[in-house]
Amino acid sequence: MSIHDGHRQRMKARFRTHGLDNFDEHSVLELLLFYAVPRGDVNPLAHRLLDRFGSLAAVLDAPPEELLCVDGVGENTATLLKLVPQVGRRYEISRSAVGSILLTSAQRGEFIKPYFYAERDEVVYVICLDSKYKVIACRMVSRGSVNSTSVNSRKVVELALNCNASAVVLAHNHPSGIAIPSEEDEATTRTIRAALHAVDIRLVDHIVVADDDFVSMADNGLFRLL
């Protein structure tokens, strides 16, 4: 066993015993790299990545093409680093399972936030609810650029009808990091609300998510103005 093998085993044992609480960002990244680079010392590579991007979060958020520009990063390493946040996203989505009751804006916001985790584009989701506001389905209906997306009201109505929904929650993200509804958001809400009303389905809220924050358009009074 080489000195590097011994270091890897000690790091893994430390994680199994204590978790990541006593790991700094460099050590967390080094532990991850063990599984992309099967042999040798990955300490210098962890330092190069942190020096290039500035933080663990920035490394995990970096586009694959930028990761591949770092000396020592191959396809396996880039794939693993991009996989980590996506696994976290799927884990959180799995925890907010279909069948949840979404009576309040807080419940609606907490339910939908994981769906936008690690998203770099603006995307739109529709949550279909039954008459007791239990989740029947949650589906993406649109994906746009980093700044904007368009929502097809017909697609929203068809999804709601196919799910036999009594109510709908619309949700989208602002990759800019500011969860304040725009005039375009208000116009979209007005259009979709009218389309759903025509088939006797209620639009109960439009949630705007930015990072770990969200705004309910129903809560802030915008629905009364639509």
- State the Cα–Cα distance between residues 8 and 36, nearest whole angstrom: 13
Q: What is the pLDDT of residue 146?
A: 58
- State the Cα–Cα distance between residues 90 and 96, nearest whole angstrom: 10
Q: What's this model's pTM, rounded to 2 decimal places? A: 0.72
**Element containing residue 16 per DSSP (H, E):** helix 3-18
* Order of all β-strands in the sheet with 135-143: 135-143, 123-129, 167-173, 202-210, 213-216
Q: Is residue 85 within 8 Å of residue 117, measured between CB atoms? A: yes
Tell me the CA distances in angstroms from 113 to 11, 21, 29, 55, one per residue in order: 33, 24, 25, 23
Over residues 60-99, the pLDDT tens digits come to 989 999 999 999 999 999 999 999 988 888 887 777 666 7
Residue 118 structure tokens: 């690690």
Average pLDDT of the chain, as a whole number:
90
Is 69 strand, coil or helix?
coil
Over residues 129-165, the pLDDT tens digits come to 999 999 999 999 999 865 556 788 999 999 999 999 9
Work out the widest C-alpha separation in the chain, in whole angstroms. Answer: 71
Q: How many CB atoms lie within 10 A of CB 109?
A: 22
Residue 125: band (very low, low, confident or very high) from pLDDT cuts 50, 70, 90: very high
- State the Cα–Cα distance between residues 60 and 55, nearest whole angstrom: 9
Q: What are phi and psi of 54, to 5 degrees?
A: 100, -25
pLDDT at 204 over 80: yes
- State the Cα–Cα distance between residues 61 and 53, nearest whole angstrom: 9
